Amino acid sequence: MFIKLFINALAFYIASSIVPGMVIASWQTLLVIAVVWGILTSFIKPVLVILTLPINIITLGLFTFVINALLLLIMTKIVPGFYVSGFGTALLAAIVLAIVNGFLSMLK
């Protein structure tokens, strides 16, 4: 559990360094983001995936990036000190997060 939390925090740090328009105010905010992201992806994301299953099948799973972008935008409302400038930035951040998370998960 702590390893996954650390991987998420590191992925968000790397994504905020790469993606312009994604701002994390402090390392405390980074830890809160990792926890909130874990909660959102555990409880809300499965519901959204089931609700959007037809379009997800048509797009061969690429709509999952849109769902992750929406979750990032929701997180900007929940977590003070976390800012994403818009949907395009959130979509790019979702793609970067997926790549970084995949790479870091392979290393553990």
- Distance between CA atoms of residues 65 and 13, nearest Å: 19
Looking at residue 46, its pLDDT comes to 96
What's the pLDDT score for residue 107?
A: 86
Helix (H, G, I), strand (E, B) or coil at 83: strand
Residue 101: phi and psi, rounded to 5, are -60, -40
Task: Enumerate the β-bridge partners of residue 24.
Answer: 82
Q: How far is CA 5 from CA 21, 51, 82, 93, 97, in A?
A: 23, 27, 17, 18, 14
Q: Per residue of the chain (108 residues), give pLDDT as tens.
A: 789 999 999 999 999 999 999 999 999 999 999 999 999 999 999 999 999 999 999 999 999 999 999 999 999 999 999 999 999 999 999 999 999 999 998 987
Q: Which sign, positive or negative, has the C-alpha torsion 81, 86, 88, 90?
A: positive
Helix, strand, coil proportions of the chain in percent (round to 5)? 80, 5, 15
Tell me the CA distances in angstroms from 81 to 30, 49, 75, 108, one per residue in order.
Answer: 9, 28, 10, 29
